[in-house]
Amino acid sequence: MKRIALLLVFVVLLVGNHVGLTGVRDARPPEARLGFYPPAPVIKALTADQYQFTSQLISLQCLFYFGTLVELRSQAPDWWRIYRAVYTSTRLDPYNMDAYYFAQAVLTWETGMTQQAIELLEHGFAHRTWDWYLPFYISFDYAFFLKDYEKAGMYLAKAAELKPEVEWYATLAARYFYEGGSTALALAYLEEMIPAARNEAIKKRLVTRAEAFEKVLQIEEAIAEYKERFQTNPEDLGRLVRAGLLERIPHDPYGGEFYLDEQGRVRTTSKLVPVEKIHGSHKN
């Protein structure tokens, strides 16, 4: 009887504390959630032949960390810490494609860490020499974010060489790069990314982004039609509606409003990130 009473005391102690501990750990700041990873050579020495799996565990940890924060929306991810973790993961196992895919999917659009993402991808391409995805991603980053069309063209040519059956790599991309049209390029890029996105948090982001670019493309096509018809630029998006080229001004899936800037380019007040989103910290 005494033992059962004692057992009950411990069970109550355990359950009560476990609930409390879970609450405390859930409220940890983003910096504490991803954990600390020592440099790759140290991990490699300590894990012996387990370093590949450790690398994959680190990239999965990044995915869980990012997914949880995005789903809960209560905390902004610490982008710099994510980058460091992905970096460590790729130094442990330079073939780890999950790490590169994750870096490309989350580090470029909202963090401005394009250069870091490119460096990671270039490291991957030096090892995964057969993988056409990596030069394709690098090409996109150079063209879309850095406007370096020469390097973009160079990497796209490499992707085309590895994947000749995707004809637009070799033909249409050159036109996109040299004649502008980055919206169409972004859409094409996202169409490649979305089917491969197995994680819901990442997939959701990519789909929303693709929807936004579809809207932008729709407006751009209406502007082109307007120019052809009236030989002048529309002053605002309302003109396109009044001219019957747009049924209505498309809705920005990020919660912003589309408008035309001074150069007549389509812009949105959301800057293609959720307007209610709190921006995460990152250090360059």
Applying CB under 8 A, the span of 22-30, 197-205, 238-246, 256-264 interacting with other proteins comes to 197-205
> Distance between CA atoms of 48 and 64, rounded to whole angstroms?
25
> Whole-number minimum distance, CB 49 to other proteins, in Å?
5
Q: Does 78 bind other proteins (CB under 8 A)?
A: no
Structure tokens at 256: 């912003």
Instruction: State residue 237 phi and psi, 5-degree precision.
Output: -70, -25
Among 50, 74, 233, 269, binds other proteins (CB under 8 A): 50
> Distance between CA atoms of 250 and 237, rounded to whole angstroms?
10
Q: Does 199 bind other proteins (CB under 8 A)?
A: yes
> Whole-number minimum distance, CB 242 to other proteins, in Å?
45
Q: Does 191 bind other proteins (CB under 8 A)?
A: no
Q: Count of CB atoms within 10 A of residue 154's CB?
A: 14
> Whole-number minimum distance, CB 101 to other proteins, in Å?
4
In terms of CB distance, is 15 or 45 closer to other proteins? Answer: 45
In terms of CB distance, is 105 or 120 closer to other proteins? Answer: 105
- Show contacts with other proteins in window 122-141 (CB under 8 A): 128, 130-131, 133
Q: Does residue 259 sit in helix, strand or coil?
A: strand
Q: Does 97 bind other proteins (CB under 8 A)?
A: yes
Q: Does 160 bind other proteins (CB under 8 A)?
A: no
In terms of CB distance, is 13 or 46 closer to other proteins? Answer: 46
CA distances from residue 113 to 86, 169, 229, 243 in whole angstroms, order as listed: 13, 25, 41, 41
> Whole-number minimum distance, CB 132 to other proteins, in Å?
9
Tell me the per-residue interface mask from 103 to 122 with other proteins, x by CB under 8 A, - otherwise.
Answer: --x-----------------
Torsion of CA 209, 212, 213, 215, to 10 degrees: 160
- 144 DSSP assignment: I
Tell me the angle at which helices 133-140 and 149-162 cross, rounded to the nearest 10 degrees.
160
Q: Count of CB atoms within 10 A of residue 76's CB?
A: 16
Q: Count of CB atoms within 10 A of residue 63's CB?
A: 21
Q: Does 178 bind other proteins (CB under 8 A)?
A: no
Contacts of 177 (CB under 8 A, 6+ apart): 143, 149, 152, 153, 156, 185
Tell me the per-residue interface mask from 20 to 49 with other proteins, x by CB under 8 A, - otherwise.
Answer: ---------------------x--xxx-xx
Residues contributing to the site for other proteins (CB under 8 A): 41, 44-46, 48-50, 52-53, 56, 60, 63, 93, 95-98, 100-102, 105, 128, 130-131, 133, 196-199, 202
